[in-house]
């Protein structure tokens, strides 16, 4: 029994359950033996009060608007480091020394190419396929190309699979984009840094020189840092659940990408931009705010609210700054969407409904405007999120696989269907 414990009374029976304490954050009541001791399950659809695992990677204090990776605040990582440094930190737990960083960058760069046969795999898709549909398939298909890194019991293979995905997911993402616009795939260029290489694969064409804009490259790199991990969110929990059965890591990350696609999760950046375009003018904002508050209207302000943050999303502040930097660099002075966004944020933050429900702009509110200004179509927004989140999924997957107490994730249920009844032959029904 741990030092702390909590009593639970059920049907006249009281059981003492251990309470676990983390480094920071709320204690958890360990209910692992509850069923054995009382015959009852707990019920928490949506996991609003349930910790699904122990993790030492990312910490969020939603009330205070804090996000830490391995203890380091997100704003410090976004301001001072680059995306691959955050990747290293998430995977290994410490910031790299200069030589560790150089070695890590080199190893990622040497894995950027995909098997040439993958290019043929893309040909099977319609040109108008949503790039997220292509990503789910292409990342899952990596397991068919890299058999030598699918044995999850081999530590070396786990690490190779991890490096392969961090390096190859951007290549596949750029290929998914090129395919939908009918342009030739652009091979990775290992002389470029991670994010510049991604921009080059997306926007270069064989007939012209493509010059990387360092301001845009830095901004996208920062967007990647902001999206790198977010503890046990829906897609990460999906990756963990898929991985708990022993599935190979490529399949697990494909499952995470599928989950990310939904508008309540990674699809929100695409949905937020579409919403801003639909509102179109600041005069129409009150109409949309009214819709969002109407209980009988399913409409929600996309890019607002968060399951965990009940304060300003710390990523949103950095995203807002990055958005202004990108628009200034590109000379976009009067972007109508930005005008709507700024005014919508102002109105929502002073509206009683949003204040009372603690609905603040989240990271996706400004990311769409920024990515659009950079030249990405809305259908690519969630793909960019997937590129960044790949490292978080992998770090969380590795942590789970390397935990000696790990077992298959298998929730229980509250059954509300028919009770036992006898089969009735077809003619007698």
Q: How many helices (H) and strands (E) does the chain have?
A: 18, 6
Q: Which residue has the CB atom at the shortest distance from ligand CMC?
A: 305
User: Closest CB to ligand CMC among 96 and 256?
Assistant: 256
Q: What are the DSSP E strand ranges found in 71-144?
A: 72-73
Q: How far apart are CA 224 and CA 243, in angstroms?
A: 24
Q: How far apart are CA 250 and CA 273, in angstroms?
A: 30
Q: Which is nearer to ligand CMC, 114 or 275 (CB)?
A: 275
From the candidates 105, 221, 229, 364, give the one annotated as an active-site residue. Answer: 364
C-beta closer to ligand CMC: residue 201 or 369: 369
Closest distance to ligand CMC from the beta carbon of 45 (Å): 10
Catalytic, 306? Answer yes
Nearest to 110 by CA among 4, 182, 190: 190
**Contact (Cβ atoms closer than 8 angstroms) between residue 236 and residue 212:** no
Give me the least distance between CB of 296 and ligand CMC, in Å please: 11
Whole-number minimum distance, CB 319 to ligand CMC, in Å?
Answer: 11
Q: 203 or 366: whose CB is closer to ligand CMC? A: 366
Work out how close the CB of 7 gets to ligand CMC at its nearest, in angstroms, rounded to a whole number.
29
User: Which is nearest to 398 in space by CA: 167, 23, 92, 22?
Assistant: 92
Q: Which is nearer to ligand CMC, 140 or 267 (CB)?
A: 267
CA distance 18 to 33: 10
Q: From CA 54, how far away is CA 67, in angstroms rounded?
A: 17
C-alpha 163/C-alpha 391 separation (Å) is: 9
Q: What is the dihedral of CA 325, 355, 285, 375, to 10 degrees?
A: 30
Residue 205 or 264: the one with the smaller Cβ distance to ligand CMC is 264
Q: Is the CB of 197 or the CB of 233 nearer to ligand CMC?
A: 233
Long-range contacts (CB closer than 8 Å, 24 or more residues apart) made by 405-412: 406/244, 407/244, 408/244, 408/245, 408/246, 409/52, 409/240, 409/241, 409/244, 409/245, 412/35, 412/41
User: Do 83 and 103 form a contact (C-beta atoms < 8 A)?
Assistant: no
Question: What is the rounded distance in angstroms from the CA atom of residue 316 to the CA atom of residue 266?
Answer: 14
> What contacts 328, CB < 8 A, 6 or more positions away?
none
Whose CA is closest to 406, among 126, 153, 107, 110? 153
CA gap 154, 401 in Å, rounded: 11
Q: How many Cα atoms occupy the beta-carbon half-sphere of 112 within 13 Å?
A: 25
Please pick, among 69, 130, 306, 313, the residue that the annotation labels catalytic. Answer: 306
Q: Shortest approach of ligand CMC to residue 240 CB, angstroms?
A: 16
Min dist CB 301 to ligand CMC, Å, is: 4
Report in angstroms how near the CB of residue 48 gets to ligand CMC at its nearest.
Answer: 7
Q: Which of 58, 63, 30 is nearest to 225 (CA)?
A: 58
Half-sphere exposure of 410 (CA within 13 A, CB side): 4
Q: Which is nearer to ligand CMC, 188 or 303 (CB)?
A: 303
Which of 164, 389 has the CB closer to ligand CMC? 389
Q: How far is the CB of 264 from ligand CMC (least distance, A)?
A: 4
Q: Which residues bind ligand CMC (CB under 6 A)?
A: 230, 233, 264-266, 268, 292, 300-307, 357, 359, 362-364
Residues in the chain: 429
Smallest gap from residue 36 Cβ to ligand CMC (A) = 31
Active centre residues (catalytic): 306, 364
């Amino acid at each position: 029994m741990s030092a702390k414990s909590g009593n639970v009374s059920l049907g006249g029976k009281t059981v003492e359950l251990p309470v676990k304490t983390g480094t920071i954050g709320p204690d958890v009541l360990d209910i692992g033996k509850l069923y054995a001791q009382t015959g009852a399950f707990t019920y928490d659809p949506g996991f609003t009060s349930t910790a699904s695992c122990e993790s030492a990677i990312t910490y969020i204090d939603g009330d205070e608007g804090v996000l830490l990776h391995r203890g380091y605040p997100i704003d410090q990582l976004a301001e001072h480091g680059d995306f691959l440094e955050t990747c290293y930190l998430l995977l290994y737990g410490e910031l790299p020394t200069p030589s560790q960083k150089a070695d890590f960058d080199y190893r990622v760069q040497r894995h950027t190419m995909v098997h040439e046969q993958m290019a043929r795999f893309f040909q099977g898709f319609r040109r108008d396929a949503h790039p997220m549909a292509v990503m789910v398939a292409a990342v899952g298909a990596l397991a068919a190309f890299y058999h030598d890194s699918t044995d999850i019991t081999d530590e070396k293979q786990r690490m190779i699979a991890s490096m392969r995905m961090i390096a190859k997911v951007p290549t596949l993402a750029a290929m998914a984009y090129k395919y939908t616009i009918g342009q030739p795939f652009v091979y990775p260029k290992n002389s470029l840094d991670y994010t510049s290489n991604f921009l080059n694969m997306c926007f270069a064409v064989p007939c012209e020189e493509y010059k990387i804009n360092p301001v845009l490259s830095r901004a996208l790199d920062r967007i990647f840092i902001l999206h790198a991990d977010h503890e046990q969110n829906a897609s990460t929990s999906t990756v963990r659940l898929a991985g708990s059965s022993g599935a190979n890591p490529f399949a697990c990350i494909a499952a995470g990408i599928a989950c990310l696609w939904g508008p309540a999760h990674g699809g929100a950046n695409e949905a937020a931009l579409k919403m801003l375009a639909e509102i179109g003018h600041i005069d129409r904002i009150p109409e949309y705010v009214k819709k969002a508050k109407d209980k009988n209207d399913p409409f929600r302000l996309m890019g607002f609210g968060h399951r965990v943050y009940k304060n300003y999303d710390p990523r949103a502040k950095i995203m807002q700054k990055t958005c202004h930097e990108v628009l200034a660099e590109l000379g976009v002075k009067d972007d109508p969407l930005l005008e709507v966004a700024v005014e919508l944020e102002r109105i929502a933050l002073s509206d009683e409904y949003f204040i009372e429900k603690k609905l603040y702009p989240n990271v996706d509110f400004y990311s769409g405007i920024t990515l659009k200004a950079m030249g990405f179509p809305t259908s690519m927004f969630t793909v960019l999120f997937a590129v960044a989140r790949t490292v978080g999924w992998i770090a969380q997957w590795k942590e789970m696989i390397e935990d000696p107490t790990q077992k298959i994730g298998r929730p229980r249920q509250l059954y509300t269907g028919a009770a036992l009844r006898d089969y009735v032959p077809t003619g007698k029904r």
